[in-house]
Amino acid sequence: MKKITDLLTETVSAAFQSAGYDAALGSVSVSNRPDLCDFQCNGALAGAKLYKKSPMAIAEEVCKSLEGMDEFKTVSAAAPGFINLTLSDSFTVRALSEMSGDEFLGVPQCGKGSSIVIDYGGPNVAKPLHIGHLRSAIIGESIKRTARALGYNAVGDVHFGDWGTPYGLTIAEYKVRHPDWPCFKDDFDPAKDVIPDIDEKEMNEIYPYASAKSKDDPEFKAESRQTVVDLQNRKPGIYDLWKKIKDVSVESVKRIYEKLSVDFDLWYGESDSDKYTEELVKLLTDKGLLYESEGAMVVDVAEEGDKISVPPIIVKKSDGSSIYATFDLATIIQRMKDFDPEKIWYLTDKRQNLHFVQVFRCAKKAGIVDETTELRHLGFGAMTGPDGKPFKTRDGGVMTLESLIEMVDAAALEKLKDSEYISGSKEETAHKIGMAALKFGDMQNQPAKDYIFDVDKFLSFDGKTGTYLLYTVTRINSILKKAGMSYESAPKITGIYTTGERELSLALLLSPESVVRAFNEMAPSALCDSAYVIATAFSKFYHDNRILTEEDEQKRSSWLALCALTGRVLKSTLECLGIETVENM
């Protein structure tokens, strides 16, 4: 189905054309003044310059040819030349019915036939997920689901950090602590030597320790640099220990992502890009882009007009090892070969903005992607404590993502303590509510901005929260149940009987617009806004009408149909946000 603004744009463009003006002026958008009209077109203002005529005169002419059209209840020209449009009830009912009958609930399938790779999550081997990993995981998951809702073949890749400097440090520290392990012997034989089991607690503790130690222990630092080179050369023993550490990390990370309902199609890591490094270096060399600078091999990526200095991108370090940027460039080669995507999008915190500028420029310059491939990075802000500083544990440490989830779950369970309405397990329901609260609390913000973590506010039943939205869905579930119908068996919407209903209908008709916007702007907040507007319009409609006891059968069944459509739209919007609903609460 087309978006409603696109449909109306067609109608208004035809009206501009029939009045003798350029059809391109007929672009329709959602009204800035919902008190005056539902939609507006500002084309007469632009047309005034083109046709040297007053905008009001043009607007009036266009309105003339729109008047009496079945789409509109009112069409009017407003100074200085706006065209204000209000939908007719009959058109609204038709559009709602069409939406209800559409398997995609009116969301245009504009991604059909295109692929997008979304790189999110970004965990690292041997480092536990901490709260800094939350946003990439949940915003990325939402963008992937939104892409799918639009018909894209969307591929989520976790892009594990597993092949760079940190793993040299980690393995070098293992060697200090366990010098007797066979993997550190020169005659290590993978066929018969066994590496002891990895203790997760020790593993999680090793990297920060080793990283700090390398700062004032040059010998250890040199050892760990050699270890990265060995690892990247897949030296037996070192490589086998790395594989073992990686397995433990992947398992632990998967367990936590599962709690967040975050899932990936590809569990690739930096190490998987390794097979394309040679091709990368050859390509950069053949194009004459790669040159030596202070021993390292680099590519210039600065451009005229840069407002900040963009340093050359390092592709190989002086010891020949690959680093973060190398992996990203080689991974682009891999993704182009595997999926030939139209877009590759990345989600990390905004401190990595410059890194991605360098990588994208280098990829374009080298022709790894062509001009039309969209490489895009969303750099998001931090989740902070009430003081505006990065959120910390009570004793000032970095909070693991797992502890954060446990904390939110516990708070949600406390809230549900006295509820009698929960049919299944209270823990499971609390977890769903907790995650809805956490995700909605995060994603309702503009991604680039920092936001304050406030579990009590997120879990509140009132206001713009995930909890309120889940509650609204349970309310609809219960109405339908009491009426003895299911979402699938709901009747038809036959009319608009009250003002509240009209508001709700318009909010529903606009929901596909928010899906498109959330995707185009990489901003799930558009989905949060839409869900919230729908939920509040629904609450008003529900409050103002006695739906179940309404005596006029036609009205009652139309209202029930509207409830069912509202529930479906809310559920599918929440689904795009990666939020699971609950049957009752």
Q: For binding to ligand ARG (CB under 6 A), which residues are involved?
A: 119, 122, 124, 159, 161, 328, 346, 348
Residue closer to ligand ARG (CB basis): 75 or 134:
134
Element (DSSP H or E) covering residue 475? helix 466-482
In the complex, what is the shortest distance from the CB of residue 30 to ligand ARG, in angstroms, rounded to a whole number?
Answer: 35
Query: Is residue 488 exposed (0-12), middle (13-18) or buried (19+ Cβ within 10 Å)?
Result: exposed
In the complex, what is the shortest distance from the CB of residue 271 to ligand ARG, in angstroms, rounded to a whole number?
Answer: 12
Residue closer to ligand ARG (CB basis): 122 or 447:
122
Among candidate residues 479, 471, 464, 480, the one with its CA nearest the CA of residue 529: 464
The C-alpha atoms of residue 425 and residue 52 are separated, in whole angstroms, by 69
In the complex, what is the shortest distance from the CB of residue 159 to ligand ARG, in angstroms, rounded to a whole number?
Answer: 4
- Please, are residues 33 and 79 in contact by the beta-carbon 8 Å criterion? no
Residue closer to ligand ARG (CB basis): 81 or 161:
161
242 Cβ contact partners less than 8 Å away, ≥ 6 residues apart: 125, 162, 167, 171, 231
Among candidate residues 411, 461, 391, the one with its CA nearest the CA of residue 135: 391
The C-alpha atoms of residue 397 and residue 205 are separated, in whole angstroms, by 13
In the complex, what is the shortest distance from the CB of residue 202 to ligand ARG, in angstroms, rounded to a whole number?
Answer: 21
In the complex, what is the shortest distance from the CB of residue 245 to ligand ARG, in angstroms, rounded to a whole number?
Answer: 15
Residue, CB closest to ligand ARG? 122
Residue closer to ligand ARG (CB basis): 122 or 512:
122
Residue closer to ligand ARG (CB basis): 115 or 124:
124
Residue closer to ligand ARG (CB basis): 328 or 503:
328
The C-alpha atoms of residue 173 and residue 188 are separated, in whole angstroms, by 18
Please say whether the dihedral angle defined by the alpha carbons of residues 575, 577, 582 and 585, taken in this order, is positive or negative.
negative
In the complex, what is the shortest distance from the CB of residue 133 to ligand ARG, in angstroms, rounded to a whole number?
Answer: 8
The C-alpha atoms of residue 260 and residue 404 are separated, in whole angstroms, by 11
The C-alpha atoms of residue 441 and residue 82 are separated, in whole angstroms, by 37
In the complex, what is the shortest distance from the CB of residue 214 to ligand ARG, in angstroms, rounded to a whole number?
Answer: 18
Residue closer to ligand ARG (CB basis): 124 or 511:
124
The C-alpha atoms of residue 19 and residue 58 are separated, in whole angstroms, by 8
What are the tokens at 196? 């002891």
How many beta carbons lie within 10 A of that of residue 421, not counting itself? 12
In the complex, what is the shortest distance from the CB of residue 480 to ligand ARG, in angstroms, rounded to a whole number?
Answer: 43
Residue closer to ligand ARG (CB basis): 330 or 560:
330
- Please, are residues 136 and 349 in contact by the beta-carbon 8 Å criterion? yes
